[in-house]
Amino acid sequence: MASKEENKLPKSYWLDSTPSTEYPSLNEDIDLDILIVGGGLVGISCAYFLQKEGFNIAVIEADRICQGTTAHTTAKITSQHGLIYNKIKNQRGKDMAKVYAESNELAIIEYKRIIDENKIDCDYTHQSAYIYTR
């Protein structure tokens, strides 16, 4: 029989190692070009790019910024999505799978550019990725 300790779900490193944030609730009308609903990595990334283009934007999040799916990742940036490529190839064709792959490779380059441009101290390192099988 498993102990109580073994039955506990693992804690997210990101949630466990960062301070809580408290942002005010939106209690009044605001004038915006774009409202982004969701403060995960996708929402924050969209906000970053739209703000750089001069749009007046706001991000609203029901809970803590980057607390959902983003908080429970390993922060690995990769284009190695073998099962997804196969699914896209089977459903949409080889060309669409190639577009997906190229888009992911461009995203990796863009992450690095943003890190360098903003001098973000995040321990980014480029590493090789491997797939193992039995």
Query: In a structure prediction context, what are the per-residue pLDDT tens digits for the chain, which is 134 residues long?
Result: 555 666 676 777 777 887 877 888 889 999 999 999 998 888 999 999 999 999 999 999 888 787 777 777 777 788 887 788 999 999 999 999 999 999 999 999 999 999 999 999 988 898 887 777 77
E-assigned strand segments in 20-122: 34-37, 57-60
Place of tokens 């577009």: 99
What's the pLDDT at 65?
A: 80
Domain boundaries, the chain: 31-74, 76-121
Distance CA 39, CA 66 (A): 6
What's the pLDDT at 58?
A: 94
Q: pTM surpassing 0.85?
A: no
